[in-house]
Structure 1
Amino acid sequence: MSAEFETDLKDLAGKLAQVEAVMDLDGLRAQVADLEKQASQPNLWDDPDAAQKVTSQLSHKQSELRRVTDLRQRLDDLGVLYELAEAEGDVASRTEAESELAQLTKDIDALEVRTLLSGEYDDRNAVVTIRSEAGGVDAADWAEMLMRMYLRWAERHGYPAEVYDISYAEEAGIKSATFKVSAPYVYGTLSVEQGTHRLVRISPFDNQSRRQTSFAHVEVLPEVEEVDHVDIPEKDIRVDVFRSSGPGGQSVNTTDSAVRITHLPTNIVVSCQNEKSQLQNKAAALKVLQAKLLQRKKEEERAELDALKDSGSSWGNQMRSYVLHPYQMVKDLRTEHEVGNPSAVLDGDIDGFLEAGIRWRKQTAAV
């Protein structure tokens, strides 16, 4: 084995060992065993909600355990593969080993980032809201581009996404949209995306093809679970129903099934129109409202009004710039991470920004 490859392999083995220690594999195996025992109980589905929670937790824990054990197996296999390639002078196998080393390094780095997610709600699903800000029709178009970026990211990873509500702008794009992404630790991962995103480009809506700067705000909240106990008395909410509609006012539902809920004490308004029945839309809207109230409660308890949700002007709250003209670049203003391929980023290739953001947040918190 070449000295360089052996050194890289040893460094990677050390990094994986640290990740395994942080994840506490013995404890993880014990949790899996306990959940498997609960899932095998004959009366499990007597309580469907509890059963779903157990099976979901079991699936998540098994996935985590499998992910780290698979990486260890790949690392062990890689050393054997390279030694055989060297001994037999097999150039193709050596090239394969070097390619696997690069991919394994990337996969272990990604898992290492996961271990940095230790916040109170980091392991939950994420509820994402995007709103157009300064920039008129370009901002509305930009908000829709951002929504597509996150949904494409979720699709790339095989994470289910459910759109709760979209408010379309008159000419193009959207005023706002709310959707949920479901996966272990997806809230902790996407929470670093919160803030104002700035786009610079030649406006497709300007007859003189002038450069336009537009803004959209991204809010990321953890999905509320029953254990959070966010009680919402009926007297504190007003429920309005209306007909669901698509772009340009096109009706997508012939009944008044869409639901808008106003929380009277805080004046928080949420809506949902993606489900076919009024009851389903009300349930989904209530979950979004609970997430917003949970966030508000957390902010008050910590006396940090911007703990989860940034507030401020478009210019003062920027966290990332996307430049399409006069040059091509996407740059995170906090981490300095940047790439020169905006098209790939806008198609959902944002893992580099997410990992840099998570590392930056951890370092900032440690100072």
Structure 2
Amino acid sequence: MAEFDFSQALGEARSKYESIAKALDVERIKTDIAALEKEASAPNLWDDVDNAQKVTSRLSAAQSRLKKLEDMAARLDDIETLFELGQEENDADSMNEAQGQVDRLQKDLDQMEIETLLDGEYDERSAVVTIRSGAGGVDAADFAQMLLRMYLRWAERNGYKTKVMDTSYGEEAGIKSTTFEVDAPYAYGRLSVEGGTHRLVRISPFDNQGRRQTSFAAVEVVPLVEVTDHIDVPDSDIRVDTYCSSGPGGQGVNTTYSAVRITHLPTGIVVTMQDERSQIQNRAAAMAVLQSRLLVLRHEAEAKKKKELAGDIKASWGDQMRSYVLHPYQMVKDLRTGYETSQTQAVFDGDIDGFIDAGIRWRHEQRREAALEEESAETA
């Protein structure tokens, strides 16, 4: 086993920290904080509650990011001092402690590095996630509900606020579809790599012969729209239907025509919302989700034009992006990144940061390769 080189490890950590600090632009963060603090101190800030919440949320996120950077720099200095003192006093315990802290610091830097890769146009937004059961009957409906629990648990582990906006329940078990919001800075940037087709292989608990069943569920992730997005949806382009809510929710919810279904006629997009008791509230929430999906369509159309100009760019995600195998062995594997784990129960309990981080790195590399190919096509 090679001897641990503390100087080399610390040097690599410092180099990575400097790269991260440069990418995150410390001075820009400080400028943003000053501007947001000025907005937050305005006497009429809370006249517009939605805007006030966005300002305070962005301020808190920027302050947290700056504090992480400052704390990381302080840890680097403290670890170096601890090791030097250990050397001077020939204190093996202090040197071992310094080595252990460098290892932990490198892992924390790896996590912070992920933040520098969340540089997409909408990455800093909150996210709206829709899960739909696919092929597989009742098993697929049950799988969709397992995925909903997984993402809600993940959000809870990270301290993110969530709100289930609409759920259509299966006839026998599970759910046909569900839509929920994850309200946190960069929630979209992180969760957008979860979009795609998920596959479950297991012994079906709904098959009395105990046969193995393969089922599918689709995950769609869109950024939460903001007032500045200017997604115009004329009334002539939509059809609005109202109906009684279904599933859990109490007598008041289930006996009034509070649920809303909006169909966007030009694209065929359908959004349903039944979380709120008020039809007006459900309509507003449904319009917000519709605008989010139209925003993504517009973004995809712009990206498609760029791809056509650049030629055939290798950036396809494919339909099936992750497999969850519970029989005949235990394995969850991402088919794009190759990241895998045998801790299947931990994954369904929300331990998916490893998959998300690997997905973010994979996406960044895909974008980098696409940009290089586009540049080559333009210069050819």
| 1:126–1:223 CA contact under 8 A, matched in 2 | yes
2:360 matched residue in structure 1:
358
Partner Cα separation in structure 1 for residue 5 and residue 252 of structure 2: 63
Q: For residues 124-160 of structure 1, give each alpha carbon's deviation from its aligned partner in whole angstroms, at most 9, with x where no partner exists.
A: 1111111111111111111111111111111110011
1:260 matched residue in structure 2:
261
Change (3 A) 1:282 1:248: closer
1:345 matched residue in structure 2:
347
| 1:299–1:305 CA contact under 8 A, matched in 2 | no
Partner Cα separation in structure 1 for residue 166 and residue 86 of structure 2: 55
Counterpart amino acid of residue 341 in structure 1 = Q
| 1:245–1:251 CA contact under 8 A, matched in 2 | no
2:111 matched residue in structure 1:
110
Change (3 A) 1:127 1:304: farther
Question: How far off its partner does 1:228 sit?
Answer: 0.8
1:26 matched residue in structure 2:
27
| 1:130–1:219 CA contact under 8 A, matched in 2 | yes
1:11 matched residue in structure 2:
12
| 1:170–1:248 CA contact under 8 A, matched in 2 | no
Partner Cα separation in structure 1 for residue 323 and residue 265 of structure 2: 36
1:194 matched residue in structure 2:
195
Partner Cα separation in structure 1 for residue 355 and residue 287 of structure 2: 31
The range that moved more, 71-80 or 330-339, is 71-80
Change (3 A) 1:50 1:149: closer
Q: For residues 51-85 of structure 1, give each alpha carbon's deviation from its aligned partner in whole angstroms, at most 9, with x where no partner exists.
A: 33322322221122122222222222223334445
Counterpart amino acid of residue 147 in structure 2 = L
Partner Cα separation in structure 1 for residue 142 and residue 287 of structure 2: 28
Partner Cα separation in structure 2 for residue 301 and residue 17 of structure 1: 34
Aligned counterparts, 1:234-313, within 5 A: 234-246=235-247, 253-303=254-304
Aligned counterparts, 1:113-192, within 5 A: 113-192=114-193
Q: Secondary structure at the match of 2:146?
A: helix
Q: Secondary structure at the match of 1:104?
A: helix
| 2:253–2:277 CA contact under 8 A, matched in 1 | no
The range that moved more, 284-293 or 235-244, is 235-244
Q: For residues 306-325 of structure 1, give each alpha carbon's deviation from its aligned partner in whole angstroms, at most 9, with x where no partner exists.
A: 9xxxxxxxxx6111111111
Question: How far off its partner does 1:272 sit?
Answer: 1.4
Change (3 A) 1:254 1:70: farther
Counterpart amino acid of residue 345 in structure 1 = V
Q: Secondary structure at the match of 1:303?
A: helix
| 2:79–2:98 CA contact under 8 A, matched in 1 | yes
Partner Cα separation in structure 1 for residue 229 and residue 169 of structure 2: 32
| 1:140–1:173 CA contact under 8 A, matched in 2 | yes
The range that moved more, 149-158 or 80-89, is 80-89
Partner Cα separation in structure 2 for residue 252 and residue 71 of structure 1: 50
The range that moved more, 41-50 or 283-292, is 41-50
Question: How far off its partner does 1:122 sit?
Answer: 0.9
Q: Secondary structure at the match of 1:189?
A: helix
| 2:128–2:221 CA contact under 8 A, matched in 1 | yes
TM-score calculated relative to the size of structure 1: 0.90
Aligned counterparts, 1:313-332, within 5 A: 317-332=319-334
Question: How far off its partner does 1:232 sit?
Answer: 1.6
1:309 matched residue in structure 2:
none
Counterpart amino acid of residue 329 in structure 1 = M
Change (3 A) 1:207 1:98: farther
The range that moved more, 356-365 or 141-150, is 356-365
| 2:276–2:282 CA contact under 8 A, matched in 1 | yes
Identity %: 61
What's the C-alpha RMSD, in Å, of the aligned pairs? Answer: 2.5
The range that moved more, 37-46 or 355-364, is 37-46
Change (3 A) 1:49 1:163: closer
Change (3 A) 1:259 1:154: same
| 1:168–1:247 CA contact under 8 A, matched in 2 | no
- Unpaired segments of 5 or more residues in structure 2? 308-317, 370-380
Partner Cα separation in structure 1 for residue 306 and residue 329 of structure 2: 36
2:210 matched residue in structure 1:
209
Partner Cα separation in structure 1 for residue 193 and residue 306 of structure 2: 16
Change (3 A) 1:73 1:270: same
